[in-house]
Amino acid sequence: MLGLVKRSQGKGLMHIHVLGICGTFMGGIAALAQQLGHRVTGSDRNVYPPMSTQLEALGIELSNDDDLSQLEPAPDLVIIGNALSRGHALVEEVLARRLPYISGPQWLGEQILRHKHVLAVAGTHGKTTTASMLVWILEQAHKSPSFLVGGVVQPFAQTARLTESDYFVVEADEYDTAFFDKRSKFLHYFADTLVLNNLEFDHADIFADLAAIQKQFGFLLRTVPRDGTVITPRTEQALTEVLAGGCWSQQVALESILKPNQARQNKGWEVALEDAAGQRFSVYHDGVLQGSVDWELIGTHNVANATMAMLAAVQIGVPARDALSALNSFTAPARRLQLKGIVAGVSVYDDFAHHPTAIATTLQAMRARFGDNARIIAVFEPRSNTMKAGVHEHTLAAAFAEADAVYALNASQQWDLQGQLSQGHSHAVVRQTVTDLANSVLQRPAADEHWVVMSNGGFGGIHQLLLDGLHARSEAEA
């Protein structure tokens, strides 16, 4: 490992300071740098699990976001996260003092990924889950992969690790790299095996429209070598358009995911669902059964994620049957419909869904799993810049079609959140604070219900507020 650093940097170990260290990606960068032997420190403003827990376990020293003394003595290198921009006190200090700096994606690409076979997972939805599945498959195949994923990978309880393996699994995000590099992060990753799950409009704060995102994905295809592989689902029109713009690598396609009892075409890779919830499915190649999965996960979106992960593993020599067998024991990463607790018949879940498509697929999966008579309650924080700007204003209500009620936090929207949700739901409640929202949910008669909390942030700890409130109510009624 240390030889890798010396070859790529031309010098030995150093003190690396990470700005924005508590983001999932930047925390992973810090962990990898420390595993290379560097002394790593960092700072951030918002600290919450899982990254706070991981950094504490690693013993990485953290400073307050506005404390300029953290740059004394000057670190050898500053890695700057994309959440920081000009005007930030630390950024201004780094620039004024001419300290050497770099973005996280560029550092990762140059210092580590150049020396590995990179399996990159990109797309609007399912990146973290698919990448985690791929890590698990390769681990079970005794390939001990390195990885950097945007969630806690089970059972490793880590978002990143570095091994001696030739293989590195990376979640390839299309978001911009840094304030000084507006290219998508994934253009720094040198993908050899590239999974493209899907493609929709998102990140309205940096992309004008879907075409702008497709342009970045087109650039990504240009970085895959001719003996590399690009894996896509046949049914994604936006990706088909990107591929039409040029692909110089081998291509593998998932032809279709068939509903229970739907006839197979016996052509290419096909998946046959054996139940509506997606808990049992089989994979065929040219009509030949490759293997089956019977697991705890739900939803056709997870079936698709699993199949894409399997196809990536196949490209580096893992038999499809072995890959599918490994998925039977896969545990989803944190915050992917994660059950936080059951109190007095109420199940409280944490889910990362924050885009209408992800919201809809999660709720559809829950409905298929728990049945038409189940009571499913959505508790939603419209936290992303895209959501706040109202890009999904007219599609959001439909995303909650399978929920019996919707409770949402008004996070300074530039549009009428209550009005839009009320158009699609007879029971839509919007509150201004997390505490008020939690209290509103806790007023439900709440028996045998499923409460799913949806946010791409910490949501003010509402999960624990709900669980504590349920416990208090249960004790009061005892």
Helices (H) and strands (E) in the chain, counts: 16, 23
Same domain assignment for residues 381 and 321: no
Q: Name the pLDDT band for 361 (thresholds 50, 70, 90).
A: confident
Same domain assignment for residues 261 and 377: no
Inform me whether the pLDDT recorded for 458 exceeds 90.
no
Mean pLDDT score, 274-295: 95
> Which of 274, 302, 327 marks a domain boundary?
327
Inform me whether the pLDDT recorded for 51 exceeds 80.
no
Same domain assignment for residues 185 and 265: yes
For residues 271 and 282, the answer to whether their CB atoms sit within 8 Å is yes
Q: Say if 294 falls within a structural domain.
A: yes
Q: The domain spanning residue 425 has which CATH number?
A: 3.90.190.20
Q: Quote the CA–CA distance of 116 and 45 in Å, as a whole number.
A: 33
Mean pLDDT score, 312-323: 98
Q: Say if 164 falls within a structural domain.
A: yes
DSSP 8-state code for residue 375: E
Mean pLDDT score, 37-55: 81
Q: Name the pLDDT band for 197 (thresholds 50, 70, 90).
A: very high
Q: Record the tokens describing residue 154, joined without a space.
A: 């089970």
Mean pLDDT score, 319-336: 92
Same domain assignment for residues 382 and 363: yes
Mean pLDDT score, 238-264: 96
Q: Mean of the per-residue pLDDT values for the chain? A: 90
Inform me whether the pLDDT recorded for 50 exceeds 70.
no
> Which of 327, 353, 373 marks a domain boundary?
327
Q: Say if 400 falls within a structural domain.
A: yes
Which pLDDT value is given to residue 8? 37
Q: Quote the CA–CA distance of 13 and 38 in Å, as a whole number.
A: 5
Q: The domain spanning residue 78 has which CATH number?
A: 3.40.50.720
Q: Say if 110 falls within a structural domain.
A: no
Mean pLDDT score, 8-29: 84
Q: Quote the CA–CA distance of 132 and 155 in Å, as a whole number.
A: 10
Same domain assignment for residues 275 and 353: no
Q: The domain spanning residue 229 has which CATH number?
A: 3.40.1190.10
> Which of 297, 327, 357 marks a domain boundary?
327
Which pLDDT value is given to residue 2? 30
Same domain assignment for residues 181 and 226: yes
Same domain assignment for residues 193 and 255: yes
Q: Name the pLDDT band for 9 (thresholds 50, 70, 90).
A: very low
The string of pLDDT tens digits covering residues 117-159 is 999 999 998 999 999 999 999 999 999 999 999 888 888 988 9
| Cα dihedral value 180, 223, 123, 395, nearest 10 | 60
Which pLDDT value is given to residue 413? 63
**Count: domains in the chain:** 3
87-90: list long-range contacts, CB under 8 Å, 24+ apart. 90/19, 90/43, 90/65, 90/66
CA 316 to chain CA centroid, nearest Å: 23
Same domain assignment for residues 57 and 169: no
Same domain assignment for residues 314 and 395: no
The DSSP string of 200-215 is ----TTT-SSHHHHHH
Q: Quote the CA–CA distance of 153 and 128 in Å, as a whole number.
A: 9
List Cβ neighbours of 92 (8 Å cut-off, separation of 6 or more).
86
Same domain assignment for residues 265 and 179: yes
Mean pLDDT score, 188-203: 93
Least confident of 257-266, 293-302, 416-425: 416-425
Instruction: Name residue 227's amino acid.
Output: D
Domain membership of residue 358 as a residue range: 338-477
Inform me whether the pLDDT recorded for 390 exceeds 90.
no
Q: Name the pLDDT band for 330 (thresholds 50, 70, 90).
A: very high
Q: Say if 111 falls within a structural domain.
A: no
Same domain assignment for residues 316 and 433: no
Inform me whether the pLDDT recorded for 30 exceeds 90.
yes
Same domain assignment for residues 294 and 345: no
Inform me whether the pLDDT recorded for 10 exceeds 60.
no
Q: Say if 108 falls within a structural domain.
A: no
Inform me whether the pLDDT recorded for 440 exceeds 90.
yes
Q: Say if 233 falls within a structural domain.
A: yes
Inform me whether the pLDDT recorded for 5 exceeds 60.
no
Inform me whether the pLDDT recorded for 428 exceeds 80.
yes
